[in-house]
Structure 1
């Protein structure tokens, strides 16, 4: 068994088990969850979030793992960008993507369950 490090979410928000969300916050947060509700976008976000080095990924490196056209991948990245889960920067021909750690932390904090212990996974 290998232990995963438990990262405590920043004190950015009150977990849903502690207090109900107001209408505006629920609408903004739902947009992020809706963007993550698609398996392709979830994989794209995971690829960007786990990028080695400086934490950014060229769009050219995101198209290979999928059996989808470049415009379709760009559409999914646009949805992630509009949901404020990633940022992008154009450099010449290519666009580079970075994760929005602040909003991932917000989602993590929102779903935090106080008192949950360490996580363990078995090695494959």
Structure 2
């Protein structure tokens, strides 16, 4: 059975300049790649958007599942992938699980992809 990936610790991944300014060190690329890979699926990208934009900063799985034509177990699999990539935290409350985006990691991913107007030309 494959070992589950530990969520990315922002303390373990140093902040780095945007890709357009400096080459990305191999260890940082290795640490951040699972987050980008997780967001490479359209359903997970939609789930991430729903969670990050939810009122109060969190979303119940009970509110996420009806937005898709997929089964509950498939949605759970996608949410687990986001959790394992370190993009969201999950908290069980009674029978429901609530998801919250990890804004520090999201800022780090966004910063990595930032291109200034001078570099865009």
- RMSD of aligned Cα (Å): 1.1
Question: Which runs of at least 4 in structure 1 moved beyond 6 Å after TM superposition?
Answer: none
Q: How does 1:18-57 map to 2 (within 5 A)?
A: 18-52=21-55, 54-57=56-59
Q: Which has the higher strand share?
A: 1
**What per-residue deviation string (whole Å, max 9, x for no partner) do you get for residues 70-121 of structure 1?**
11100000000011111000111110000110011001100111237xxxxx
- One of 107, 112, 117 as aligned partner of 1:105: 107
User: Once structures 1 and 2 are overlaid, which stretch shifts more, 67-76 or 12-21?
Assistant: 12-21
* Residue 23 (structure 1) shift: 1.1
Aligned to 2:96: 94
Cα distance in 1, alignment partners of residues 67 and 88 from structure 2: 19
Tell me how far apart the structure 2 counterparts of residues 13 and 23 of structure 1 sit (CA, whole Å): 12
Q: So what's the TM-score if we normalise by structure 2?
A: 0.82
Q: More helix per residue: 1 or 2?
A: 2
Structure showing greater relative contact order (alpha-carbon pairs closer than 8 Å, 6 or more residues apart)? 1
The runs of 5 or more residues in structure 1 that have no matched partner are: 1-11, 117-124
Q: Counterpart in 1 of 2:4?
A: none
1:43 Cα offset (Å): 0.3
Alpha-carbon distance, 1:13 to partner: 2.6
State the aligned residue count.
104
TM-score (norm 1): 0.80
Q: Distance in 2 between matches of 1:27 and 1:13?
A: 13
